[in-house]
Chain A
């Protein structure tokens, strides 16, 4: 579903992502972890086509995101770290715009919009202008929009920012259910507990390199510590080895 093939991205003289090779199969929930400046957001921006790799290629469902961006985007739902909406559109109008962009038939679009409004509990404010929404409301609407077309791949950049505990629960349950149905989830997060609870595999990036790739259990074995929490394992990996030149 998602293939990073020897991807490198440089910013001037600084290498933000170095030789990243990663394949995430259908139905997997993958969490990308790492300290600030590790290259997580750069990887996500390359995955959704906002940044082009300096070297290497990225494929989504077989479509190269640089050579065939529209073909790749047709399979992707994206939730950015800062939700972007049109202030002068209502939530429902925004969902219609997204449905139209994906060429969904009217009857199906109506059905899906109602489904997502119900799922994310947007009904109360779906017909208000987005300019009156709080951050959490905006984030829920962006989630709804990203899932409207039942994407094969869902890309999430710090997805829980601004969500209240109830919304977080809704999102977690939904991601797990969709992954079971075959949707691939690629998520960048600082919330280690969430990664530990949900992710099938985690990747830990430090200074642009993928330091670890595997399950939380495998991470424990690799670090070989008595410690049990992912937080301790993460700190061990990113602090001790992150200091290496």
Chain B
């Protein structure tokens, strides 16, 4: 039976018209986002631009040095390096785009709106695909562009190389992104119940492969680590990534051809033509995969959405676990502070986004620290690396305190009627957040610092100093996050990411970074000077000179006093201000 004609002024759009409407939508959304940032978040925008520029510059410098070193070894090493880098990136892009598309296409309120409008499923897919591809690959652009520019500069490549870098990167990212999209559509459309198992198995296999490669590289030889021969052997293991059917090989080969010059340093025409052929190969494959994904979306998207919407969420009964019982003191009545602490701990445990990121970052850091023994460092390096590791632990903790602890008070806003009516002093709410952050940060951070220092074989005095600095960092970072969170709560906002990306969150991150910089630099200075004095010897360094004094007991004492003052001030001042502001807060 044919349906009736639609009301006269309404009609179905052609594919091109639909694409134009979505492009207009995207352009308006981007423009409004930029306008809001320019008017409301100038500090954040400036910081993002500044830090991105610094990051890009630092990476560029690092890659220039690395390519100059590798170029001297063997030309093939760079080809291997490119292949290893791009192939691992390809795997990561497949997963990240697939996961982002899953969230955007099947779990977002926007998808529910779009699916009730007279628009093709493939157009919605294309709209969400562009978004997912951008979010998945901006890191690649930020990381890959300084590397590729540095390569061109070191090889003194001609202009076509630099002109082709961006088209190569864009054409390349579309291939793994489309593969991720196809995998997502197939899994949700035809295997909805197996999707989690399938993704878990694929991620597990990728991790096992990566760990095996990493482990075999780190354990093959410790005697000549970082030497030319070590690099040769290490990259020989990575030859597995040099498969001609892989888009990463097309990209690597295309870039190497584009960067090729004649013996006299002039532009290589044949190299450029080869590069353009590789680019055409990448573009052709990207387009075919896009077409396939679009066709698949037309067949599977609505069906997959219906599958997922009709899924019955598993009923999960939760009981208090041993930690809850320990904190509340078993059957005895616990005080409000402990009860609030247990509540926050429960919310943390049941929020996968929080604990999984916590686990991944600290787990990777632990894995790296565990492998430090594979390298043979001299004492001066070991001490320096120990302090750098302390800084890394602090920086990761600061991202967590900014992302998860800072918004905690704001997130109580919608539930404030519960807490506000309870016989609980407002100070206790703030203290509970502080304790949660401090204890939750101290345990893994102190463990990681101990692991790092033990692997580096540092003396006990230095380990004790690092642990003391770690304690101060946990106090300071928790104080900053909780204090600022209480001073600048956004009680109407329910999204923690939006809260942490506002002015207060940015200020929290900046102050946290400053604290880490001050604590680690001031604490490291006497040790560094002590080692310098010992290396240069008494003939060069006067025993009663400034350097000897700074690297000796007095210098260390002064440094500890400064570090303690900075850590305690960072903890107490924002916390005090936060407590006062929170007492006066009108909800």
Minimal Cβ-Cβ distance residue in B for A155: B116
Contact of A103 among B4, B17, B110, B306 (CB under 8 A): B17
A222 to B119, CA, bound (A): 44
Known: A80-B112, A84-B112, A86-B110. A149 touches B302 (CB 8 A): no
**Interface flag for B115 (CB, 8 Å):** yes
Closest CB in chain B relative to A32 CB, distance in Å: 18
Contact A50 B112 (CB under 8 A): yes
A9 to B1, CA, bound (A): 23
Contact B12 A71 (CB under 8 A): yes
Contact B303 A129 (CB under 8 A): no
A49 to B1, CA, bound (A): 18
Query: Which residues from B are CB-within-8-Å of A78?
Result: 116
Say which one of A93-101, A190-198, A202-210, A235-243 lies at the interface with B.
Answer: A93-101
Contact B118 A70 (CB under 8 A): yes
Say which one of A60-68, A211-219, A226-234 lies at the interface with B.
Answer: A60-68
**Interface flag for A52 (CB, 8 Å):** yes
Contact A102 B118 (CB under 8 A): yes
**Interface flag for B113 (CB, 8 Å):** yes
Query: Which residues from A are CB-within-8-Å of B118?
Result: 69-71, 73-74, 101-102
**Interface flag for A165 (CB, 8 Å):** no
Closest CB in chain A relative to B16 CB, distance in Å: 12
Say which one of B26-34, B71-79, B319-327 lies at the interface with A.
Answer: B26-34
What per-residue 1/0 map shows which CB atoms of A138-155 lie under 8 Å from chain B?
000000000001111000
Minimal Cβ-Cβ distance residue in A for B29: A88
Query: Which residues from A are CB-within-8-Å of B6?
Result: 71, 74-75
Contact B302 A69 (CB under 8 A): yes
A62 to B3, CA, bound (A): 4
Minimal Cβ-Cβ distance residue in B for A75: B6
Contact A70 B9 (CB under 8 A): no
A81 to B312, CA, bound (A): 19
A86 to B110, CA, bound (A): 8
Contact B3 A63 (CB under 8 A): yes
Closest CB in chain A relative to B4 CB, distance in Å: 5
A61 to B117, CA, bound (A): 16
Query: Which residues from B are CB-within-8-Å of A62?
Result: 1-4
**A-B CB pair tally, cutoff 8 Å:** 119
Minimal Cβ-Cβ distance residue in B for A132: B492
Contact A103 B13 (CB under 8 A): yes
Contact B29 A129 (CB under 8 A): no
Contact A101 B309 (CB under 8 A): no
Known: A49-B116, A72-B3, A84-B113. A100 touches B10 (CB 8 A): no
What per-residue 1/0 map shows which CB atoms of B9-51 lie under 8 Å from chain A?
1111100010001001100110011001000000000000000
**Interface flag for A161 (CB, 8 Å):** no
Contact A49 B13 (CB under 8 A): no
Contact of B10 among A52, A69, A104 (CB under 8 A): A104
**Interface flag for A82 (CB, 8 Å):** yes
Contact of B21 among A61, A68, A89, A100 (CB under 8 A): A100
Contact A88 B36 (CB under 8 A): yes
What per-residue 1/0 map shows which CB atoms of B214-247 lie under 8 Å from chain A?
0000000000000000000000000000000000
Contact B29 A89 (CB under 8 A): yes
**Interface flag for A76 (CB, 8 Å):** yes
**Interface flag for B305 (CB, 8 Å):** yes
Minimal Cβ-Cβ distance residue in B for A151: B7
Known: A50-B305, A63-B3. A129 touches B9 (CB 8 A): no
Query: Which residues from B are CB-within-8-Å of A101?
Result: 13, 21, 117-119
Instruction: Give A42-62 interface residues, CB cut-off 8 Å to B.
Output: 45, 48-52, 59-62
Query: Which residues from B are CB-within-8-Å of A11?
Result: 310-312
A74 to B557, CA, bound (A): 77
Known: A93-B28, A100-B21. A88 touches B12 (CB 8 A): no
Closest CB in chain A relative to B116 CB, distance in Å: 5
**Interface flag for A166 (CB, 8 Å):** no
**Interface flag for A105 (CB, 8 Å):** yes
Query: Which residues from B are CB-within-8-Å of A97?
Result: 21, 24-25
Contact B28 A89 (CB under 8 A): yes
Instruction: Give B541-561 interface residues, CB cut-off 8 Å to A.
Output: none
Query: Which residues from B are CB-within-8-Å of A52?
Result: 302-303, 306, 310
Known: A62-B4, A72-B3. A82 touches B109 (CB 8 A): yes
Contact A149 B3 (CB under 8 A): no
Query: Which residues from A are CB-within-8-Å of B116?
Result: 48-50, 73, 76, 78, 80
**Interface flag for B120 (CB, 8 Å):** yes
**Interface flag for A245 (CB, 8 Å):** no
Contact B9 A45 (CB under 8 A): no
Query: Which residues from B are CB-within-8-Å of A12?
Result: 312
A80 to B109, CA, bound (A): 11
Known: A45-B309, A51-B306. A129 touches B110 (CB 8 A): no
Contact A49 B109 (CB under 8 A): no
Instruction: Give B301-336 interface residues, CB cut-off 8 Å to A.
Output: 302-303, 305-306, 309-312
Query: Which residues from B are CB-within-8-Å of A129?
Result: 32, 36
Minimal Cβ-Cβ distance residue in B for A71: B3
Contact A89 B32 (CB under 8 A): yes
What per-residue 1/0 map shows which CB atoms of A111-130 lie under 8 Å from chain B?
00000000000000000010
**Interface flag for A177 (CB, 8 Å):** no
Q: Which of B33, B116, B305, B309 has the most CB of A within 10 A?
A: B116
Instruction: Give B393-437 interface residues, CB cut-off 8 Å to A.
Output: none
Contact A152 B309 (CB under 8 A): no
Closest CB in chain B relative to A89 CB, distance in Å: 6
**Interface flag for A108 (CB, 8 Å):** yes
Contact B7 A152 (CB under 8 A): yes
Closest CB in chain B relative to A15 CB, distance in Å: 12
What per-residue 1/0 map shows which CB atoms of B88-116 lie under 8 Å from chain A?
00000000000000000000011011011
A104 to B28, CA, bound (A): 19
Query: Which residues from B are CB-within-8-Å of A152?
Result: 4, 7
Query: Which residues from B are CB-within-8-Å of A70?
Result: 12, 118-120
Query: Which residues from B are CB-within-8-Å of A14?
Result: 312
A60 to B310, CA, bound (A): 21
Contact of B24 among A61, A75, A100 (CB under 8 A): A100
Known: A73-B116, A74-B118, A129-B36. A103 touches B109 (CB 8 A): no
Contact B310 A51 (CB under 8 A): yes
15 further contact pairs, Cβ within 8 A, besides A63-B3, A89-B29:
A49-B302, A62-B1, A62-B2, A66-B302, A69-B115, A70-B118, A71-B118, A75-B7, A97-B25, A101-B13, A102-B10, A103-B11, A105-B9, A108-B9, A152-B7
10 CB < 8 A contacts A-B: A11-B312, A51-B309, A70-B120, A71-B12, A75-B6, A78-B116, A84-B113, A86-B25, A104-B10, A149-B10
A residues within 8 Å of B by Cβ? 9, 11-12, 14, 45, 48-52, 59-63, 66, 68-76, 78, 80, 82, 84, 86, 88-89, 93, 97-98, 100-105, 108, 129, 149-152
